[in-house]
């Protein structure tokens, strides 16, 4: 009879750390080892992706475009559309309907933004094929994308909900300290999940209380402030936990998984979602919810929107401006002060 293993947290993962990486499941870390089928060579996918590299597109962008184009070429091959110069506007409109009808594993359709992204990648591919004389004319030039939705993001977390989430990890366990440091950093700085997973040890400057984001979205660098409380948790993680997780002495990643490796963004999302779920605040969420709450709370606290733009790393102020629509506290205050129905009536 096998003895039941009641170990949890760090102790439960110690025995897993020396397993063959190939047996761990999940997504492969090296996304650059791509193989191309005959039809994908016909559509010049290798050269197109290489052109993106030459133009200094990020690895994440190239990987996402590769995945979207695999979907398109698979659709084309299933319909015997195996020559790039045989594709017409009618074919692309048919693909657009295919994307529109597609349902995710949860039965829901793709968001309009996802549909626009997938079709936009196909339009860019055919623009490349035409420009480089692989096809005589561009069948995607007049393909109309779905109208973009102007929807507000989800309501930000309250300060009480934030406190509940931050206190959720079990800080008596090394992994709980790591998870607390991750949650603290996401809320304090508003950085993106990919930016957090790409952090290295040298990116934190404890003396200046700053964090350097190298090659963030759009391959742009920026420096963001780190709150004192968050800095305390980061230093506790670095001093007490990271040495226990480290397997390869050359690993530079700031946050390490139980396997001593850099986090994959999807793994990080699942981890944060799990913490939010365990907090039992009655609503789902992940890394972006903490980023969104950081910006909203700063705006409600009186921060200039231009500083929030710099913190979040938005290229355009219009992207940051959406938080002015979400932040209701300032509007409530103005409403109370100026609306006639809210004014105190003079005593008779």
Three-class DSSP category at 75: helix
Q: Which of the residues are catalytic?
A: 192, 217, 288, 291, 314, 323
CB 137 within 8 A of CB 130: yes
Average pLDDT of every residue of the chain: 87
Find out whether 84 and 43 touch, Cβ atoms under 8 Å.
yes
Query: Residue 121 and residue 70: Cα distance in Å, rounded?
Result: 11
Q: What tens digit of pLDDT does each residue of 306-333 get?
A: 898 989 988 888 778 777 666 666 667 7
Q: Where are the alpha helices (DSSP H) in 26-173?
A: 38-42, 45-54, 59-78, 89-101, 112-131, 159-166
Q: Which CATH class is domain 35-151?
A: mainly alpha
Q: What average pLDDT does range 249-266 have in this prediction?
A: 93
Average pLDDT over residues 223-236: 95
Model confidence pLDDT, tens digit, residues 214-226: 878 777 889 999 9
pTM of the model: 0.74
| Burial per residue of 187-206, b for 16 or more beta-carbon CB atoms within 10 angstroms, e otherwise | bbbbbbbbbbbbbeeebbee
Percent of the chain with pLDDT over 70: 86
Q: Which residue has the higher pLDDT, 125 or 13?
A: 125
The whole-number pLDDT of residue 106 equals 87
For the structural domain made of 159-334, what CATH number should be given? 1.10.443.10
Residue with tokens 């948790």: 233
Cβ–Cβ < 8 Å for 58, 219: yes
Gap between the Cα atoms of 187 and 287, Å rounded: 9
- At 328 the pLDDT is 64
End-to-end CA distance of the chain: 87
Write down the pLDDT at residue 238.
97
pLDDT at 235 > cutoff 50: yes
Over the stretch 60-103, which tens digit does the pLDDT of each residue have?
889 999 999 999 999 999 999 999 999 999 999 999 999 999 99
Domain map (residue ranges) of the chain: 35-151, 159-334
Select from 35, 34, 133 the least CA-distant residue to 84: 133
Grouping H, G, I as helix, E, B as strand and the rest as coil, residue 142 is coil
Greater confidence, 17 or 307? 307
The fraction of the chain above a pLDDT of 90, given in percent, is 64
Q: How confident is the model at residue 146 (pLDDT cuts 50, 70, 90)?
A: very high
Half-sphere exposure of residue 221: CA atoms within 13 angstroms, side-chain side: 4
DSSP 8-state class, residue 262: B
The whole-number pLDDT of residue 180 equals 97
Of 9-18, 37-46, 193-202, the one with minimum mean pLDDT is 9-18
Cα distance between residue 132 and residue 44, in whole Å:
10
Condensed to tens digits (0 to 9), the pLDDT of residues 119-136 reads 999 999 999 999 999 999
Lowest mean pLDDT among 2-11, 46-55, 270-279: 2-11
Distance CA 78, CA 58 (A): 30
pLDDT class of 7 with cuts at 50, 70, 90: low
* Cα distance between residue 93 and residue 139, in whole Å: 10
Question: pLDDT tens across 22-50, in order?
Answer: 445 444 444 456 888 999 999 999 999 99
What's the CA gap between 191 and 342, in Å, rounded? 39
- pLDDT bin (cut points 50, 70, 90) of residue 187 is very high
* Per-residue pLDDT at 18: 61
């Amino acid at each position: 009879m096998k003895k039941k293993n009641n170990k949890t947290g760090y102790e439960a993962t110690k025995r897993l750390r020396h397993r063959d990486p190939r047996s761990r499941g999940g997504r492969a870390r090296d996304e650059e080892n791509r193989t191309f089928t005959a039809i994908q060579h016909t559509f010049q996918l290798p050269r197109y992706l290489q052109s993106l590299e030459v133009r200094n597109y990020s690895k994440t962008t190239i990987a996402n475009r590769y995945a979207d184009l695999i979907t398109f070429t698979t659709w084309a091959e299933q319909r015997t559309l195996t020559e790039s110069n045989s594709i017409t506007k009618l074919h692309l409109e048919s693909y657009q309907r295919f994307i529109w009808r597609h349902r995710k594993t949860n039965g829901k359709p793709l968001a309009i933004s996802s549909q626009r992204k997938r079709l936009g990648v196909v339009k860019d591919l055919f623009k490349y094929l035409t420009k480089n004389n692989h096809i005589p004319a561009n069948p995607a030039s007049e393909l109309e994308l779905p109208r973009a939705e102007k929807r507000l993001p989800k309501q930000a977390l309250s300060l009480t909900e934030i406190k509940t989430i931050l206190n959720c990890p079990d800080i008596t366990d090394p992994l709980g300290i790591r998870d607390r440091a991750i949650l603290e950093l996401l809320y304090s700085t508003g950085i993106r999940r990919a930016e957090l997973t790409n952090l290295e040890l040298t990116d934190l400057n404890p003396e200046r209380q700053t964090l350097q984001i190298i090659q963030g979205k759009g391959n742009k660098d920026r420096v963001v402030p780190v709150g004192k409380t968050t800095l305390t948790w980061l230093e506790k993680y670095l001093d007490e936990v990271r040495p226990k997780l480290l397997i390869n002495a050359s690993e530079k990643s700031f946050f390490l998984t139980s396997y001593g490796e850099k986090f994959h963004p999807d793994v990080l999302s699942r981890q944060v979602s799990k913490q939010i779920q365990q907090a039992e605040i009655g609503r789902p969420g992940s890394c972006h919810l903490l980023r969104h709450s950081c910006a909203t709370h700063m705006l409600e606290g009186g921060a200039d929107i231009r500083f929030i733009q710099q913190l979040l790393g938005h290229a355009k102020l219009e992207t940051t401006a959406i938080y002015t629509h979400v932040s209701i506290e300032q509007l409530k205050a103005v409403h109370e002060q100026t609306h006639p129905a809210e004014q105190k009536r003079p005593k008779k």
